[in-house]
Structure 1
Amino acid sequence: MANDLQLNLGTLRSSMQLTLHTHHASRIWHGRDASQGRATIIGLNGFISVMNKMKRAAELDDPYADAWMLRIEEKLNSTKASIKALREQIDLALSEVPEALSMGENLNVQPVRLPLFVNAQLGFMAVYLLADYDDLARRLILAHHTALIDRRTLEHLLNEGAHALRSLFSLAQQFKASGVKRDDYLSNTPAALKARERFGDVPEDVLDGSARSPFAPPLMRRPASGVEHPGTSGRDVDVPSECFDQTHVVEDDAQVAIPSEEQC
């Protein structure tokens, strides 16, 4: 009788929001419009949209999406290292505050709170980087206000951090789903030939599934080389689109999806 018990479970959701205290971080969220001959760069919300599309393409067995996930993950790690290096510089400056002086956190009395609906793990990694940059900017402004750094140093470090994030987002702008699957690529179908002409060749280790981002979705098919990707146990796995509730929209048409179950 217990086996006949029906559980009418709803979807799993977690309410999330990002709090920003500085105009510098807010501008990174919104991106940069084309002006004075500079190219348009998407903001964090646009980056999240691209990562959602990239993950979905990887779910559909697009080998180019897998290659792009590795490329973006590498860029995320280098961006994180850049912001960490900037943080170490400002921490060193703030360490010069005498023990007799107590300084609290430099917080905005009216911060902006932005709702987050993120489906791709690489999108979350960028959210953490923007939060780190916001914290960096707050500390830099405090250090300048208390005469620990001069204005030139303030502007230089702020620009360095902003450049690192915008470089990441600019790279993501180049992603385009190929529309082909691994079988198409291996069979040299007309669509795969067009994809090769447009995007180049897929590295062999990406094609056979031995080189994949740890955040890549399970492969829909057994890798051609017989190499099992950790977590798939050699089984063909397909994550259907029905597992996602694609009803949330954030700015700049950044459609996102939230898993309806931990495992569908």
Structure 2
Amino acid sequence: MTENTKKAGALHSELRIELHTQYAINTWTGRPASEGKPSLIGMPLFFRLISKINRDSLADNPYADAALLAIEAMLDSAAQQFQGWLDEINGLLASQFPGPVSVSSVASTAPLDIAVHSHTPLGYRCVYLLVGFDQLILRVFQAHHYGLMSLKTRKEWLHRGSHQIRRIFTAALRYRSFPVTRLDIAGDTEIAHQAAAHFGELETAVLLGTRRSRFSPPANPESLKLLSKALKSKKAGRK
């Protein structure tokens, strides 16, 4: 490389979101424990939890890979669910108003503007889900306001929407980091036995890296090779 060679600087980008409903804002911030009410984690803590799982995956921990795969599946399922619900509410709003009636889109007069910083793609995907939840709640409140939805039905929508995100937060919160790698499992070490006793056996496809989140860090090819060889040997020994 010559002295005249120019190098590009570090890449930089900023993502911001606007939240229009208090329900979405409360989901972002979480809630501390109080008398009669348990604590609820918010998005910033979820970012830290999912980053820890991602770091464990980068360290070749197959249990972290399984956790990322499960959380990704939950995010994909919830995104599809929210889109279906939005279509349903939009259809309700479009079909129930008499022909001459027109209604503007709904938005907060002072939405909360948030700069989002996640170290993992799955963190950002959960943020997009929260924005979808916010948009759903806006439509639900609008339908209730104009007499197209009962208070009971409105509460049911709020609960089912919130539940989709809370279950993902809970999955990340339940993850427990354990210092085990594929090399440990290939070597049938004591730490591998402890991990299996504590977490249970992993699906072979997850162990061998053929089933993993599309956002997981690349698996270590050398450890995959050794583990594949060890599993084949173990299987042959059972015959």
Q: Give the TM-score range, shorter chain.
A: 0.7 to 0.9
1:180·1:191 contact (CA, 8 Å) conserved in 2?
yes
Please state if 1:14 is matched with 2:13: yes
Unmatched 5+ residue regions in structure 2?
A: 230-239
Q: Scaled by the length of structure 1, what TM-score is found?
A: 0.78
Per-residue CA distance 1:107-137 (angstroms, 9 max, x = gap): 1111111111112111111111100010011
* Residues in 1 aligned to 2:210 and 2:167: alpha-carbon distance in whole angstroms: 28
What is aligned with 2:174?
Answer: 174
Q: Which residue of 2 aligns with 1:111?
A: 111
Residue aligning to 2:234: none
C-alpha distance in 2, partners of 1:88/1:177? 39
* 1:40 equivalenced with 2:51 (yes/no): no
Secondary structure of the corresponding residue to residue 216 of structure 1: coil
Alpha-carbon distance in 1 for matches of 2:203, 2:178: 15
Moved more, 75-84 or 21-30: 75-84
Which residue of 1 is the match for residue 81 of structure 2?
82
Q: 1:5 to 1:179 in 2, by over 3 A?
A: farther
Q: How far 1:84 moved relative to its partner?
A: 2.8
- 1:110-259 matches, within 5 Å, as 110-222=110-222, 223-224=224-225, 225=228
Indicate the structure with greater strand content: 1
* 84-93 vs 164-173, which moves further: 84-93
Map Cα deviations across residues 212-244 of structure 1 (whole Å, 9 max, x no partner). Answer: 111111112242349xxxxxxxxxxxxxxxxxx
Determine helix, strand or coil for the equivalent of 1:19: strand
More helix by share: 2
Letter in 2 for 1:202: L
SS of structure 2 residue aligned to 1:100: coil
Report the secondary structure of 1:47's partner residue: helix
- Retained in 2: the 8 A contact 1:180–1:192? yes
The CA distance in 2 between the partners of 1:112 and 1:140, in whole Å, is: 19
Distance 2:66 2:115 in 1: 30
Q: How many positions carry a matched residue from both structures?
A: 225
Provide structure 1 residue ranges, at least 5 long, that are not aligned to the other structure: 227-264
How far did 1:203 drift?
1.8
**Partner AA of 1:7 in structure 2:** K
Equivalent residue number for residue 27 of structure 2: 28
Structure number, greater radius of gyration = 2
Asked whether the equivalents of residues 28 and 44 of structure 1 are also in contact (C-alpha less than 8 Å), the reply is: yes
Contact 1:79 1:168 in 2 (8 A): no
How big is the alpha-carbon RMSD for the aligned residues of Structure 1 and Structure 2?
2.0
Identity, in percent, stands at 32
